[in-house]
Homo-oligomer: A and B are copies of this chain.
Amino acid sequence: MAEADDDGTAVEELLGARLGYLLKHAQLRLNGHAGPALAPFGLDARELAVLAVLAAGRPLSQLEAARRLGVDRTTMVALVDTLEGKGLVERRRSEQDRRRNVVELTERGRRVRADAENAREAAEREFLAPLGEKDATRLVKALQVLIRTPDEP
């Protein structure tokens, strides 16, 4: 990810107006902050998001968790695999519906999640710092609007 400009302004005018470019590189930048922040916990952002979803309310099935994160159920299998391997969550068969795997945080999972969330929030604040508080809030709100807008038929 070089961004080595022998001709910086041209890049800005050409690609800086491309939303795809902006979103992609904003994500890369954010990962540059969040990745190292979460590394001490042995987590990446997606795994932490799974923990967050599970910590929110009652235990969820894999499919429910997948839906809330917007990932495929086949992706969630591997995600739960690794989190289980790290001892942060536990799978068990639901007794109400034996097709489902109920996924639940372990005690250690709860602790790690709380600490890692703090680290993630700090990393995001650091990432957003150049904007100032007002613009940072506006950015988040705008993205939320874009995501929640229903797709047209």
Complex CA gap A43/B43 in Å reads 36
Contacts of A57 in B (CB 8 A): 10
Complex CA gap A24/B34 in Å reads 14
Cβ-defined partner of A19 (8 Å) among B21, B128, B145, B151: B128
For the complex formed by this chain, how many copies does it contain in all? 2
Query: Size of chain A's interface in residues, with CB distance under 8 A?
Result: 61
Near B by CB (< 8 A), chain A positions 30-78 give 30-32, 34, 45, 49, 52-53, 56-57, 64, 67-70
Near B by CB (< 8 A), chain A positions 105-153 give 120, 124, 127-128, 130-131, 135-136, 138-140, 142-149, 151
Asked if A11 and B144 make an inter-chain contact with CB atoms under 8 angstroms apart, the answer reads no
